[in-house]
Amino acid sequence: MFVAQNFTEGYLRSVSDSEIFGGLSGLITRSKMGKSEGDEKILSYNDVVLRKSDLDILSGPYYLNDRIIEFYFSYLSTIHPSKDILLSPPSIAFWIMNCPDTENLNDFLKPLNLCDKKLVIFPVNDNNDVTKAEGGNHWSLLAFYREANVFVHHDSNKGMNKYDAKRLYKAVAKYMSGDSNSTSDLSYVECVESPQQVNGYDCGVYVTAIASIICRWYEQRKEVDKDGLWFSALVEEVSPSFVANMRSEILGLIRSLMAMKEYQPASK
């Protein structure tokens, strides 16, 4: 079980979020379209390395892999550069859910300063087998908003990931307050208004779309509606056509970054 061994070594120091995320992305991947020897690297963006197969995934009707979601979350962090916001890569969320050693998890999460973040967004995957590199069949999103002390789960497929999101919530909640013994002030909500997918492969794109809307809502918010939060914005904006355009938008973004001089293709 390489995952447990790698995660308990080398991450118990104070490092930046990007250092942690970059290291983890090399340790865990659960791509639905795996890497082959001929799958060349096409782009290095922040700490995320994309491959040619990622363009194929975005071009066709395929389930998004970890790399694409991590790339887009990294992009959102760039256009919403706030120390109050944390967009977790899939690898971080996966390890929080499945770490067998609570003590090491505590040390591992300290550099993320979760207790200081006002908005944290986690991608949720239903894979719970750390030995299965390509496990999982569905993506959803868990968002924490400190001003309302609430975790909100958005699932585009009728709550399919409800159990997994609740597992992540229970694992991470105690680290949000800085008091590992108290989670009494935090609540968990299944958002019944979450936009729903109309096919079997766009769940990951819904995650990127919802994350984008939440980040924009956070920057533009004027007052807190604890009952609605960002829900009305999602209902108004996220539709099947919006998600289809989102897939094309991410593909276009990657291609434009590839064409820019400062983002030369990564070496093979």
Spatial neighbors of 90 by CB under 8 A, at least 6 apart, are 28, 30, 66, 69, 70, 123, 125
51-55, 60-64, 234-238, 257-261: which range is least confident on average?
257-261
Question: Which residue is listed with tokens 């939440």?
Answer: 214
Pick 122 or 11 by higher pLDDT: 122
Task: Give pLDDT, residue 227.
Answer: 57
Residue 24 pLDDT > 90, yes or no? no
Name the phi and psi angles at 73, rounded to 5: -65, -40
Task: Give pLDDT, residue 185.
Answer: 84
The C-alpha atoms of residue 242 and residue 247 are separated, in whole angstroms, by 9
Q: CA of 105: how far to CAs of 78, 92, 130, 232, in Å?
A: 27, 11, 15, 35
Give the mean pLDDT of 71-93: 96
Give the mean pLDDT of 132-160: 92
Element (H, E) at 185: none
Residue 18 pLDDT > 50, yes or no? no
Give the mean pLDDT of 199-209: 97
The pLDDT tens digits for 169-201 are 999 998 997 665 556 689 999 999 999 999 999
Buried b / exposed e over 186-218, threshold 16 CB at 10 Å, is bebeebeebbebeeeebbbbbbbbbbbbbbbbb
Name the phi and psi angles at 253, rounded to 5: -60, -45
> Are 210 and 164 a contacting pair, CB within 8 Å?
no
DSSP annotation of 178 reads S
Buried b / exposed e over 220-240, threshold 16 CB at 10 Å, is eeeeeeeeebbbebbeeebee
> Are 141 and 124 a contacting pair, CB within 8 Å?
yes
Spatial neighbors of 123 by CB under 8 A, at least 6 apart, are 69, 73, 88, 89, 90, 93, 139, 140, 141, 204, 207
SS3 45: strand
Q: Band of the pLDDT at 62, cuts 50, 70, 90? A: very high
Q: What is the mean pLDDT of the chain?
A: 83
> Are 202 and 211 a contacting pair, CB within 8 Å?
no
Q: Band of the pLDDT at 268, cuts 50, 70, 90? A: low
Give the β-pairing of 119-125 and 150-154: unpaired
Task: Give pLDDT, residue 99.
Answer: 87
CA-based diameter of the chain, in Å?
A: 51
Task: Read off the tokens for 201.
Answer: 């492969």
In the chain, where do the E strands start and end?
A: 41-45, 48-51, 85-87, 119-125, 139-145, 150-154, 187-190
SS3 212: helix
Is pTM beyond 0.85 here?
no
Task: Give pLDDT, residue 76.
Answer: 98
